[in-house]
Amino acid sequence: MTPSHRDTVLVTGGAGFIGSALVRRLIESFDGRVVVVDSLTYAGHLESLEGVSRHPNFAFEHVDITDAKAVRTCFETWSPRIVFHLAAESHVDRSIDSPATFVETNIVGTYIVLEAALGAWRIVGTDRRARCKFIHVSTDEVFGSLGPRGAFTETTAYAPRSPYSASKAASDHLARAWHHTYGLPVIVTNCSNNFGPYQLPEKFIPVVIRSALSRRVVPVYGTGENIRDWLYVNDHVDALCRVASAGEVGQTYLIGASNERRNIDIAREICAILDELRPSADGSYIDLIEYVEDRPGHDMRYAIDATVTRDELDWRPAHGFADALRETVSWYLANEEWCSVVMAGGPEGERLGTGRQA
C-alpha cells in the first residue's frame, strides 16, 4: 500500500492480534498517519503496539465502537482515506457463553462505524472521495461448515452457525448494504484462521503452546478431526494492504493459503517443535494432549479458494506453514512476559464455551 504523506489510515481493533500486525506494517511501510481506534477489551493491549506507539505517525483513540458520538468525533477529527475495520469480539467459545456482547460490538458497533465513515466520506471533496476505501475485515466462518470436499468462494451462500459467525455475517451484510445503498466505498474480506505472534493465549495455537509449556493438559476438542485452513498473520496483512491499494470497491476478497490441517495434527506438530526447542526432563509434550468435550455446534471444516484474490490482486502468501508455525512457537517462547501481562487475571487454562449448556 502506498498512500501519500497526506493520507490517514484508521484501524479499528488495532490493539488486537491482527490489527496490531497491520499497524506495525503500516507504520513501517508508509509515511501517512495511522490512527488506532480501540476500547482495549480483554483482547486489546497497548503492549502489542509497544514497538510503534511512540512513532510520530501513530495516534491512539481509546474509543468503544458502540459509542456513536465518540466514533463520529474520531471520523470527523481524522477524516481517514482508508479504514480497516477489525474491531470485534472474535472468540467463538466466548460467543457461546456471552452472545450479547457479540451482537453489541459486531453488529451494532459495525453499524455505528459505517454511519460515522459515511458521514465523514460525504463531506470530503470529490477527488479525494474517489480514493477512499472502507475495508471490512471478516471471517470465512460466515459460510458455515464444509464437508470433506470443496472450498468457500466469493459466491458461497452465508450459513453461519455460532453466535460469533452469525454476528460477523450480519456485519458483512451491513457493510455491503452501506455500499449499495449509500455508495460508501466498501470492500469485504473473508479470511481463514490466522496464527502468529501476539495472538491472545486463549486461541487454539497459543493455548497448545502455553498449556504444553506449563505441563497442563493440552486440550483438543472432540475427536480432533476438525479442519481449519491456516494463514500466517503477516500474509493476511499483506493481503489487506493489497486490497487497500488495488482492491475494487464493492468486491469481496477471500483470503487463505490452502493450509488445511486437523486440530490434532496441529497440536502434535507444536508439541514436536517444543520437544526440539525446549526439551523437558518430564517427557515429550505430546503426552500431554487430551481429547476434551467438544465445542457445541463445532464446525467441521473450513477451506478457502483464494483464486480471485491471487489473480486480481497478485497476492500470494509469502510464508510456508511449517516455517511460520515454528517461528510462532519461537515467538511465544521468547515472549512469555507479554503472555503473562495480557492474560493477567484472565481465564488462562480454564475451559470457555460450555457455560450455557442445558
Applying CB under 6 A, the residues found at the interface with ligand NAD are: 13, 15-19, 38-41, 43-44, 64-66, 86-90, 105, 109, 137-139, 168, 191, 193-194, 200
Grid coordinates representing 340? Answer: 503473562
Residue pair 90/16 in contact by the 8 Å Cβ criterion: yes
Instruction: State the catalytic residue, choosing from 64, 141, 172, 260.
Output: 141
Nearest Cα to Cα of residue 234 among 94, 331, 149: 331
Contact 65, 129 (CB under 8 A): no
Residue 189 or 211 with smaller CB distance to ligand NAD:
189
Q: How far is the CB of 58 from ligand NAD (least distance, A)?
A: 15
User: Which residue's CB is nearer to ligand NAD, number 19 or number 247?
Assistant: 19
Which residue is catalytic, options 111, 164, 221, 253?
Answer: 164
Closer residue to ligand NAD, CB minimum distance, 38 or 269 = 38
Active site residue 61: no
Give the whole-angstrom CA distance, residue 155 versus residue 266: 29
140 has catalytic annotation: yes
Angle at 56 between CA 55 and CA 57, to 5 degrees: 90
- Which residue's Cβ lies closest to ligand NAD? 16
Least separation in angstroms between CB 284 and ligand NAD: 28
Closest alpha carbon to 349 in 183, 211, 195: 211
| Shortest reach from residue 65's CB to ligand NAD, in Å | 4
Spot the catalytic one: 140, 202, 260, 299. Answer: 140
3-state secondary structure of 203: coil
Could you give the C-alpha distances from 188 to 1, 168, 172, 178, 338, in angstroms and in order? 17, 11, 7, 12, 31
In the bound state with ligand NAD, the residue whose beta carbon lies nearer, of 184 and 239, is: 239
Is residue 64 annotated as part of the catalytic site, yes or no? no
Query: What is the closest distance, in whole angstroms, from the C-beta atom of residue 267 to ligand NAD in the complex?
Result: 17
Closest listed residue to residue 201, CA positions, set 192, 189, 191, 214: 214
Catalytic site positions: 140-141, 164
